[in-house]
Structure 1
């Protein structure tokens, strides 16, 4: 008898689970406060209670038969291991890492929350015949404040059974009224569900107090017992048949438990988030993140300013933030940590906007390894790459890395599909570009839309060159953080003739004498090098690196050749083998071709860097420079805002960019490349100037940075008109009042008093809407025509005029969805319409012509000796000429031969190809919105792919991997890596030995990027399969069942 009681007591106190339930958590807490040596006393108390219970109730017979079927369901509720309980475990892990005082605070909060429900959740044990009943105290039911999840005995029979069995028992109730009280059946089920016990229970498991319910201790008749036993057997048989099929669970008891746990989580989260001075192991991120930064980037410790910035109140409260530091100060690391917090902790998607395609690809290569290790996707939105709208991930979150234009299209697609709130954070690098031309206007539109449509998306902006920060703060509703920290000291110098002056703001004329150049120049040498560049660079190279910024592309090449003509032959011996490898690889990626300038300069460790290089050439030269094989770059100003290539010394060949005098922002960006963190102790910049430019240069150095001004109005078709069209197309604002209100919240709205001298904001709004209506992109209500609002200028709108609404036309929707410049949208429509009259599909030439960018036609200067002159529209002829260039390129896939044939720089042809691929993607989206152009859709998909890669078909799968360009793809293909699966499963160490001139870092990045891309594709296919197999929410059977239950 004692053994039977002991067995009953164990069944009551414990249900076998793989995860700790809420009760077990509190049981563990109670056990933890027991003093050593109390365990025996506790056992004695338990026996006393058991004996008392035997006296108060009938004699309970031990359960003698526990067959295999009963064992089968003893652990039946283990399927409760859902994502919700996983969330509890994740919170517990994070909770355990907090300081002790916060842990106690959370414990008290949790106890206060759940103590009432726990302490009143008493059970009574009633013996009836050969069976034992468990009964919940009525007080527990009455005290529950959750009406929607209250425990209804009739509705919660068999609370842990599959939904199919729930329907069966509902039918059972309605057809059998002679089985007794439903509450009795519930108690019998609870009894049978506890048949299986774990004999090896921990001794410190604390049982809940048991109370005797006198009303449930009466003896049932043998007829009642037989009915109940019959029901139990029926239940067992039914469950045995359905045991193998796990179906969704409907459990009100479980809902009550989850509600209590949800409240516990919320209390704990609030406690965690309330602390601002202790963010956990690594700024609220797992310690694994810190280890990855050490492993992949060699960063072991953050700078003081980085820690200060990450612990700002505004950052912890998720307010918008602008921060500004000098170049090379470590701004990007702060942004990366904030992005990881959003992806891993808050489980939201993140958008990072970067200025150039090369920087996007560099950032993707750097973060792909983190994505693989930490479980998130890194998606590229640049050129023709990127899906609109982005794939909606269920499990993992996505980090979108985009150019300014693609970032704008991405935000538009998220707003259109009502998913903008899934975007938790937007990071903008080089925020000062908001004041630079049409790209600045697009960036402003993007940020304004996010601010207007999402109140939960945080915006982080960073830049090295900001002045009128107050205007940007007002626009972004942001806090501001700045520091003058540089990891390496920067010294600025000016060179006039053979004298070096140090820039000194405290000096009377802004500079002080430093030294004279100590280099012997012959008369011939002075003619070749009047600016003493040889003297300046030989103080640094070859042991340290040096950048020489030149005003033009041609000047870069000339200076590189001039330096190599003068340099000593000793420079040829420095890393001679590695430099020969660079030349060999340049030939390999160019089908045996090599620029004669590079052929001459690379053996000396010198190369030029400008937009005239192909993508493959530029990437290979940058890698060689970073590895120290090349020690000197002669470059244009684009390198200053591009990929990170620091140097010990930076020399500015002249205070000009092309023919324009240098701006302060440009000057700061260039000299900011001086000094490599962790390598150099100091960085130096030297600006070479002539005596005539001295005063202008001194003013340049002493004056503040240039202000940023909105470009919405200056860039009319790419600015305010494009904005209005998208606002109406996305239904963000559809009437004059809403549009005017939106404009007040833009960067332009903040600066309108400065920018608008002759016209008001209302006049500009009306004028832009008039233009869009006249162009057939918008339609307005008939009342507008009657009132003549769009035919006259008014200074202020009346209340009636504020309500006038607009609707987007099909052409307008196609234009904004395709991101087509409104200056060309009608021309594109006419060309596509005319193309339908006689579309030639024998070759790709006709399609190529239709996707040749309009804006590049004005830059084209055809060689009329190739084709006869004809009196036709010049733009049409120029586009046709460029389409011949592209067509030849697709056939030959060799930029060098095409460059020679058409007498064009290979860099220009490379840019033409990239522009054509991007524009082809835009035309595709344009055609998708216009039914009459259905024939173009499938054709343009393939053409866009061909233009994007411009290689043989077998190399395309490899080039889809970030960082793999044509030359590298050909090497990999020849080495046997012919598919994405091959690369994803490759061993980096084997790649290093197999592929020439491939560093260990590059090999790891390629493998990581391939793995990430493979996972993305697999995930997309898996989600598509699940979507197809999912039962529709409007399925008739589900609806009927819901109505029946209601």
Structure 2
């Protein structure tokens, strides 16, 4: 049927289903990148399981699960027209399409860009051999390559927008060997991915010598120099390097995520302004800058950019997004150049799926027809009514009775059997797992897959099983069929493995939550939206565009397809959403979307407190100058701005954060400086100050609960399971109960809540006192989880105990590390040295997930928590001993540390041991790097002996070992 339709419709490219039909139902799976291998189901059934499967435990074989038949998808008879591609589908290859041979400026090696040959080569090695015409036009905008002007630009997801910012940022860093750049991303997952990308791009590139800067000496500028001249790229986010300083990097990739000491980028800028090192900052890139309109964290972008605009220094600010509407407002605010394009290298076909019918939704005209005619009960079937493109047959299976779920499964099945990848967006974590399991039940089993893919999927199962958290049971079911899910319930390591193998084609289906649409970079041939909700609420137009923009893999697919599946109750709202314009951006400094019930906006207070604390504004004149450079000044009436500024200043005085003298000069108090230094909101700072002041009067030091309580963030990170809270409260020792009573927490309240709301509920928060009490109960509940983590309980055990996803427990641990660093900074600024020292001592245990005796071992890569304890128990008690060990000696220890003891066949066992041996080599290398720093301790001892005239003969070697036949002294002490 498809063959009959094709010439009639004049199709200029083949859809997924047509390609499958052209292959005469001989479906194939990708064996390697760019290769497809036909699969003969009959021969596979006769040959039986391959050798690699014979020793695998039965739970890992998805073929053991009950199989489901996927519904067929058919073309509609009499289809006479084909919808045009969407507004993003603008790329058709013509003979006149420009290339780097016809337009030399499409090559990054062109002298106009002034990039070093090594950088151009690194771009080419990563697949970027030429640039698009729009990228050329954008880069050649007035003053951009010289760094004279700021830039804000918009390009669709997948259109190559990041490359423009990367080129401008790298030029600024390479022009000056002391230059710094900051790249701000919205999510931790994106930070980690971007750090790896940039490290590969700058590999082998050295910074320019100060004495070499004359034009025409390009060959000399990039001559190889010492290692100290390489470009250092670091990631700054909670749980990574929470104390990153200005001297640690040339390029800092930061996050604005509130859960990980969100203001990492903002804090870096504040610290650099205070110590006058900000002059070395040359570039700031704001990715996803449409989030400046986000009331939860976006205002941090506005605060940081405004401070840079006030400095009057040559800092190039580059803002980019796929979902900008009033780009002119940002252009005026940043006083720079703007550029906008709708170009996509891969065209996208968009569809709406409703009640088993697939409608083309690519143009405004067809979309409006769909709105008015699709679900009209009074409209009779006629030629004027919009006809569906295809029909999805109903399923007789109980699990697939729901038409939306049936459509998702059928569309995913069709894509995979045609040999392509599919990305499914679901509304919740539970929905992700459910969709992944259902989709895996209709796909070919592991025994039917290509042998190469079989091997790689078994390797993936082995890698996941070897993680400290073990293998997730649902992933164990779905991965053999090439399906996995990617959501916040998984640990970072699990997410990275899933994303990597999906990108390699080992996994064919990835199911993710809607909230991760902008936080992952996983393009697919087909994107399927299992409704357009995030939780209970519909997603916004920007988020919808982010999800649909993931369709189409450059270099792998000739077209991208999106399918939004919705049910009857959502039809009208969903179609309106698909047709909705993106909302215009505005400043969040007045319209505080987080605390609507409060009269004075919190971001305004935070903004004014910051600039006063870092002494960027100390007078009314300089304060007004700062306000005039905010985005707020370009998007609100002057009278309204002035009113809020006055109210905010009055509140800051009332809170005792600032003082004003008779000449209207501003000065931050010690408390105000501490709040800014620790990246707290003013209201949260008051609460923390009161808590720490009480702790100074009676700090419970004969246990760990009081310290851990002060490490827990003030924002909510989940719901309290009151039954678990009550059980853990019963197990508290005398020290724990003293902390409980000291904080004013009443066991009777916990008892009542666990009786009436055992699975979770919130306490009353109608008054300020009730809000503070609820916050204390929540923090203590989190402290109980931290206690278990610090006492070497593995993450997956903590997750089971507190009925939480493992990823949430890991996020809690990382968040608390960042928050702990903020609390230490708060105490140091307030002059509470003893409190800061106590918190600092315990923060090492929090990061290591171990008791104090294991802190040194826990600095070694892969040696954390339970693994460190097993190393200790097996005699590897110091870094020096691990550094001096043969990797083969560590192999039995690592085998013992594995969470799942799975009986494997000889071949699989050997592969598993090889992976652990590779990990052992990394461990010994890491221990050696740490150990090399220890000999420096000899110098202070020698200096002490010389100062006190102690003969060197009276020194003895306290620690030594032989390494490569050479005696190495680790520690010298005077002989008494």
TM over 0.5: yes
CA contact (8 A) 2:151 2:338 kept: yes
- Structure-2 separation of matches of 1:599 and 1:877: 37
Note closer, same or farther for the CA distance 1:389–1:624 as it changes in structure 2 (3 Å cut): closer
**2:170 aligned with 1:327, yes or no?**
no
Q: CA deviation at 1:701?
A: 2.4
Q: CA deviation at 1:477?
A: 1.0
The correspondence of residues 280-299 of structure 1 with structure 2, limited to 5 A, is 281=111, 283-295=113-125, 297-299=126-128
Q: CA deviation at 1:860?
A: 3.1
User: Number of residue pairs matched?
Assistant: 708
Task: Give the corresponding residue for 1:875.
Answer: 775
SS of the aligned residue for 2:319 comes to strand
Task: Give the corresponding residue for 2:129.
Answer: 300
- Structure-1 separation of matches of 2:389 and 2:864: 46
C-alpha RMSD of matched pairs (Å): 4.1
- Structure-2 separation of matches of 1:489 and 1:409: 41
Task: Give the corresponding residue for 2:503.
Answer: 626
Task: Give the corresponding residue for 1:486.
Answer: 344
1:945 to 844, 860, 866: 844
SS of the aligned residue for 1:680 comes to coil
1:744 to 628, 645, 662: 628
Q: After superposition, what is the alpha-carbon deviation per residue over 1:785-827, rounded to whole angstroms, capped at 9, x for unaligned?
A: xxxxxxxxxxxxxxxxxx5122111111111011122112122
**2:170 aligned with 1:354, yes or no?**
no
Gaps of 5+ in 2: 1-104, 206-229, 257-262, 371-385, 593-599, 731-746, 751-772, 888-908, 944-976
1:828 to 669, 677, 688: 688
Q: CA deviation at 1:537?
A: 0.7
Q: CA deviation at 1:366?
A: 1.9
Task: Give the corresponding residue for 1:806.
Answer: 666
1:432 to 287, 290, 312: 290
The correspondence of residues 543-554 of structure 1 with structure 2, limited to 5 A, is 543-554=419-430
Task: Give the corresponding residue for 1:774.
Answer: 654
CA contact (8 A) 2:794 2:865 kept: no
CA contact (8 A) 1:426 1:458 kept: yes
SS of the aligned residue for 1:507 comes to helix
Q: CA deviation at 1:523?
A: 5.4
Q: CA deviation at 1:494?
A: 0.8
- Structure-2 separation of matches of 1:642 and 1:762: 37
- Structure-2 separation of matches of 1:571 and 1:454: 65
2:579 to 683, 694, 702: 702
Task: Give the corresponding residue for 2:140.
Answer: 311
Note closer, same or farther for the CA distance 1:328–1:288 as it changes in structure 2 (3 Å cut): same
Task: Give the corresponding residue for 2:613.
Answer: 729
Q: After superposition, what is the alpha-carbon deviation per residue over 1:311-334, rounded to whole angstroms, capped at 9, x for unaligned?
A: 222313421001111111111222
Task: Give the corresponding residue for 2:816.
Answer: 916
Task: Give the corresponding residue for 1:118.
Answer: none
- Structure-1 separation of matches of 2:330 and 2:721: 41
SS of the aligned residue for 2:415 comes to coil
- Structure-1 separation of matches of 2:141 and 2:557: 30
The correspondence of residues 488-527 of structure 1 with structure 2, limited to 5 A, is 488-510=346-368, 513=387, 515-517=389-391, 521-522=395-396, 524=398, 526-527=400-401
Q: CA deviation at 1:665?
A: 0.2
Task: Give the corresponding residue for 1:896.
Answer: 796
Q: CA deviation at 1:560?
A: 1.7
**2:822 aligned with 1:934, yes or no?**
no
Note closer, same or farther for the CA distance 1:365–1:842 as it changes in structure 2 (3 Å cut): farther
Question: Which protein shows a greater Rg?
Answer: 1
- Structure-2 separation of matches of 1:775 and 1:443: 25
The correspondence of residues 940-1019 of structure 1 with structure 2, limited to 5 A, is 940-950=839-849, 953=855, 956-959=858-861
- Structure-2 separation of matches of 1:490 and 1:959: 43
Task: Give the corresponding residue for 1:402.
Answer: 254
Q: CA deviation at 1:389?
A: 7.7
Q: CA deviation at 1:442?
A: 1.0
- Structure-2 separation of matches of 1:972 and 1:467: 56
Q: CA deviation at 1:580?
A: 2.4
Note closer, same or farther for the CA distance 1:416–1:622 as it changes in structure 2 (3 Å cut): same
CA contact (8 A) 2:122 2:202 kept: no
Task: Give the corresponding residue for 2:567.
Answer: 690
Note closer, same or farther for the CA distance 1:958–1:359 as it changes in structure 2 (3 Å cut): farther
Higher relative contact order (CA 8 A, sep 6+): 2
Gaps of 5+ in 1: 1-274, 784-802, 987-992, 1029-1046
SS of the aligned residue for 2:320 comes to strand
Task: Give the corresponding residue for 1:617.
Answer: 494
CA contact (8 A) 1:528 1:562 kept: no
2:644 to 764, 769, 774: 764
CA contact (8 A) 2:462 2:912 kept: no
Note closer, same or farther for the CA distance 1:767–1:373 as it changes in structure 2 (3 Å cut): same
CA contact (8 A) 1:853 1:915 kept: yes
Task: Give the corresponding residue for 2:753.
Answer: none
- Structure-2 separation of matches of 1:482 and 1:849: 49
**2:545 aligned with 1:668, yes or no?**
yes
Note closer, same or farther for the CA distance 1:672–1:882 as it changes in structure 2 (3 Å cut): same
**2:819 aligned with 1:819, yes or no?**
no
- Structure-2 separation of matches of 1:335 and 1:979: 44
Q: CA deviation at 1:571?
A: 7.4
CA contact (8 A) 1:335 1:427 kept: yes
Task: Give the corresponding residue for 1:451.
Answer: 309
2:485 to 585, 597, 608: 608
- Structure-1 separation of matches of 2:591 and 2:673: 23
- Structure-2 separation of matches of 1:966 and 1:357: 23
CA contact (8 A) 1:281 1:287 kept: no
SS of the aligned residue for 1:853 comes to coil
Task: Give the corresponding residue for 2:97.
Answer: none
- Structure-1 separation of matches of 2:881 and 2:713: 31
Note closer, same or farther for the CA distance 1:970–1:568 as it changes in structure 2 (3 Å cut): farther
**2:368 aligned with 1:368, yes or no?**
no
- Structure-1 separation of matches of 2:870 and 2:167: 35
CA contact (8 A) 1:722 1:822 kept: yes
- Structure-2 separation of matches of 1:533 and 1:277: 42
SS of the aligned residue for 2:557 comes to coil
Bigger drift between 817-826 and 945-954 goes to 945-954
- Structure-2 separation of matches of 1:998 and 1:497: 51
Q: CA deviation at 1:711?
A: 1.2
